Structure 1
């Protein structure tokens, strides 16, 4: 242990980092290897589910097109007419003639559809008329009269049935690669069954859905099966056992709630997922050989081993470089501290990193900066003291000086007989005296009314008889408590904005009432009102009550009052605004109802 402690920090860091890093890389590679198997399987199942769903939806689209074609055939006038004629025909020649008439009609329906190999019309007694495309060298087998008679029961309430081509042998004796789409033909308008239409669909057309030039290895090796409820394989990509009972699929895996798992197919283990179509009743099964998945896992295993080895080598190299980078600034710091010991306080570290070395360097620099700050501290303290004295001198020029000056103006005006100037000075002095008190301290409603009278007295000297102020206030509400300067700004807004253009008959009314513990003050005027656009902005501003809105109003505006009320009393209270252009404006102020007891000392004053 002593020999380990005596080693240089650089060496200890390199050895420690190398051992710990190699251990972490090794464990990480092992964990990645063992968890990768599950991940690959889950990814394979996810891919299979997507492919199964897409393929099932595409098959549904094919069958929907076939259903539309069958519907068009069943209601075609020529088909209806010929089947009706067939029911009345008595000779074989007449019936054969009807077959010749139906041949061009069936040709017109089948020609545009590349996936249709043949179309057959069966009468209710089992007689069939067939049209097969010339390209179909192996004509599709027709149904017997007995099979046709069973169609009605098989259809029941269904619109159509799908029959795989298991029992329809071609001329060569091989299973046909078609699916029969069968639909009843009802007589219009009686809806009696007069026959059936059978459209044979080439299932090889389904392979177009699987064409993918960018398919990966798993997609190239997978099997796609379409299986009906009886376990018949309707379609299998790359195989020729469509509809063959010997290649029947074990439908037990399709009856559980789990849509993925493992099964044996063609004597080999496969991973499977399936998607059942509600439209056709078929299940689309995706089978992926398990050895394909294991082969991919083995490749990943080899890659993990190589990457792990390379990573270990890189970690060892990085550990050595990192330990060197850590000890280099420490050695530099030691050299600078030696110079500081000798009295050179200008030595600073220039390391700009945010790690521990960077923090240590900044702490070292801050330590040296503190010495310089201590030297300047006495001078800065004296300078701050002088600035405080200057601020105190400026603060002495306050509203008291203006209030005293107005009182002097009032006295001089009355001595010289200028009564109007004395009244204005007295009212203005009252305004200043009222404003010098604490704005956040509630006052009695009577004090606010006295303040309003002083303000309105000045305005009447300005406007004369153009303005009239009236009150509707019960005496018992004059002692109601409210914030100072909440009603007077409403009067000021009414005078400056609502009545500014009124030459005569301007009226402002203050109505105060209280109900259910709520004090309501309404200030109304008969002025010009507020334009709808501006009124809408005021509504939004009152709802928002943000400080950014109140900056648009000089002095104590509507929004300022609204904010003060909500800050003091709470959100349910504040201002409400109603106005109609050309008829006037009403501002309602609501606050909790409280009583302010008069102070005897203030009455003595």
Structure 2
């Protein structure tokens, strides 16, 4: 002990640090031998999970963007109009001409999207219009048959879109582009009846941009990133060896396991895998890392540990000082800049250029500030857009209110100058506008609807004189019944314009109400010219059938009745609505059945 105490301090430090370093290195190597494999695997699984989740989320964003594009195409007025023209076309030339009209429309939608390869519009009978960016392929990679389109109709009735990867079998090394078809239904506005489909072919090579990483390490370079369907089809593979293959010998049993990680054999090679299933697309993002790469990395780490241990015995003091200085200096600089950011100065950026943890932290800090600045700008622009929308809405209300006020001015001037007939018309028309400007979907009392009808009829009497009259047979206890606004007045208007317009005298319209079993029955009867049996049968069938495509293509009259019928059924239920009876020369009778509900004026609701 005495001889040890007499030795020089630098020798004691050297011997002490050497012994400690040798002990630590020895223990570390032993522990590392048994546990490092598990640790590296866990780290690999953790990293793979992050990559799988991020890649899956980015693919979901791509597909959400495509869904927005498909929705824009499906509701585009030009698409709707041309499809409507297609249904009316009677010969093939007219149908092909529609394709020339659709071509510039599809070009405008696909041009800003570099990853969109082609866009196709399909009608229900299998006719297709295609636009593709590939010059030497005038038709898209996938063209669907009538049977597939019928299947799309069934599937898309219950889900918003359908994804169809290309079924092209490719040999190893083939660089032909593989695609995924995003299929969305086109519904007729406003009936929501399916009238066709839009298919957007996506070049899946665009998915590689998500994986672009200039700082990829050895594991990342050897990593396989796959998009696999539940049936085992490899939709995308970052090495382009298996992309688009139907039979890639991928074991789909891994998707049924409770733990989304483990080892698997694929293409005669052992891999560590993790996967993330997308609830949006239904695809599985699989990350495969060769196990031999992990073992090689483990051996390199072991060698580094030994070398570092030897160097540590000689330079531990100097390294401690330099390391502490290198760590604390940028951290202190980062803390100063974060204090400035806390005060609201978002221009503070780190200029540390290293590739170590401090450098990564500095870049993450800079990215965080960029994201915060961008989000603040987006929120500001969103608020500004919201204010502009509110101003536009207020501006849109000026015209009807201006017209309503002008009619009141006309009424006042007419009465001052003794033109009472013009004043009455202006007053009635002003009341009509005031009633119509309120919420169309808010129920009103039957009394309010009758007052609105009286205002309308006053105007018509100035036109027809005593040729027509209106009779109301409504008990007082029915006047507070709840009814959708503008459901009776159009029936009166139909009776005037179609039933009584040719009568020279004696025209009569009767409104009658009855109540039975909590049902309110409103009958509008006229003694006009009536309608033919064929026309009555068409209208009755249209009221019974819910297929709106039939309604608007087969009928030239009665759209207003169908409109009222639909509003009643949407608000009260399918068991309510309109029915009619008519005969030539014997007038027309329209019956409206709704539940008997009382309007609560104090609460503005329905009892």
TM-score range normalised by the length of the shorter chain: 0.3 to 0.5
TM-score (norm 2): 0.47
TM-score (norm 1): 0.47
